[in-house]
Amino acid sequence: EAAVTQSPRSKVAVTGGKVTLSCHQTNNHDYMYWYRQDTGHGLRLIHYSYVADSTEKGDIPDGYKASRPSQENFSLILELASLSQTAVYFCASRNSGNTLYFGEGSRLIVV
Amino acid sequence: GEQVEQLPSILRVQEGSSASINCSYEDSASNYFPWYKQEPGENPKLIIDIRSNMERKQIQELIVLLDKKAKRFSLHITDTQPGDSAMYFCAASFDSGGSNYKLTFGKGTLLTVTP
């Protein structure tokens, strides 16, 4: 079974604070993705990466940074968290057949 | 980039009947169309997919149809059961075999199957 683990699973952050969401995969997949899920918006792509030490902007990258220090790890960084970034964040890795394996999600509340 | 529209956003059907979800896409180059199911409190999981060289695919009670000319694809769940109640997402992508692969999702359909 493919394994993608996220941490933290839940976090309350203060507006203007820094938040780091971490993702670890043991699938040996090259591609990793960060999506955010909001009611009425579905899953929107923030950043993705297809190789270590390189990241690409997705469809809604503003306010987010990403880091891929190794094939297994992919982080999403909110340098200055804002209320509008309250959402559930999903990390995923992709196999050669294009199947995405999602982590369990990280629920972020910015107050 | 690719845009995917998904309708309806909410669907309520009676157990044993069929449920249909429709999606459309903009980029005629898109060639891969998966469907993901997300149960409450869970992560999305792939349930069926279709590639552009096919028009129809069936896995048990799930049927996917693809109309490339109209740039539309749809999911049909026959003989629905309460366990089919979930959020469903369609998606589209262009897989050139290159390094810039990303999947664009629709906004989701919340399906409720009533006894």
The phi and psi torsions of B39 (rounded to 5 degrees) equal -80, 155
Which chain B residues have any C-beta within 8 angstroms of a chain A C-beta?
1, 6, 9, 32, 34, 36, 42-46, 49, 89, 93, 95, 99-108
Residue type, B14: Q
- B96: confidence class by pLDDT, cuts 50, 70, 90: confident
The phi and psi torsions of B97 (rounded to 5 degrees) equal 85, 0
Q: What is the pLDDT of residues A31-80, one digit of tens each?
A: 999 999 998 889 999 999 999 999 999 999 999 999 999 999 999 999 99
B interface test, pick of A41, A98, A99 with most B CB neighbours within 10 Å = A98
Residue B103 with chain A: CB contacts under 8 Å: 33, 45, 94, 98, 100
- A1: confidence class by pLDDT, cuts 50, 70, 90: low
Tokens of B11: 């669907």
What count of other Cβ atoms lies within 10 Å of the Cβ of residue B11?
17
Q: What is the pLDDT of residues B40-74, one digit of tens each?
A: 999 999 999 999 999 999 999 999 999 999 999 99
A50/chain B closest Cα distance in angstroms: 7
Query: Is the Cβ–Cβ distance between A34 and A58 less than 8 Å?
Result: yes
How confident is the model at residue B78, as a pLDDT? 95
Distance, in Å, from the CA atom of B37 to the CA atom of B46, rounded to the nearest integer, reads 6
Q: What is the pLDDT of residues B3-54, one digit of tens each?
A: 999 999 999 999 999 999 999 999 999 999 999 999 999 999 999 999 999 9
Residue from A40, A32, A46 nearest A4 by CA: A32
Tell me the percentage of chain B whose pLDDT exceeds 70: 97
Distance, in Å, from the CA atom of A65 to the CA atom of A57, rounded to the nearest integer, reads 9
| Residues pairing with A91 in the sheet | A34
pLDDT greater at residue B1 or residue A15 = A15
Distance, in Å, from the CA atom of B99 to the CA atom of A64, rounded to the nearest integer, reads 22
* A58–chain B Cβ distance below 8 A for any pair: yes
* A51–chain B Cβ distance below 8 A for any pair: yes
Tell me the percentage of chain A whose pLDDT exceeds 90: 91
Distance, in Å, from the CA atom of A35 to the CA atom of A58, rounded to the nearest integer, reads 9
- A92: confidence class by pLDDT, cuts 50, 70, 90: very high
Query: Is the Cβ–Cβ distance between B48 and B61 less than 8 Å?
Result: no
How confident is the model at residue B94, as a pLDDT? 85
How confident is the model at residue A93, as a pLDDT? 96
- Those residues whose C-beta lies under 8 Å from the C-beta of residue B58, and which sit 6 or more positions away, are B64
Tell me the percentage of chain B whose pLDDT exceeds 90: 88
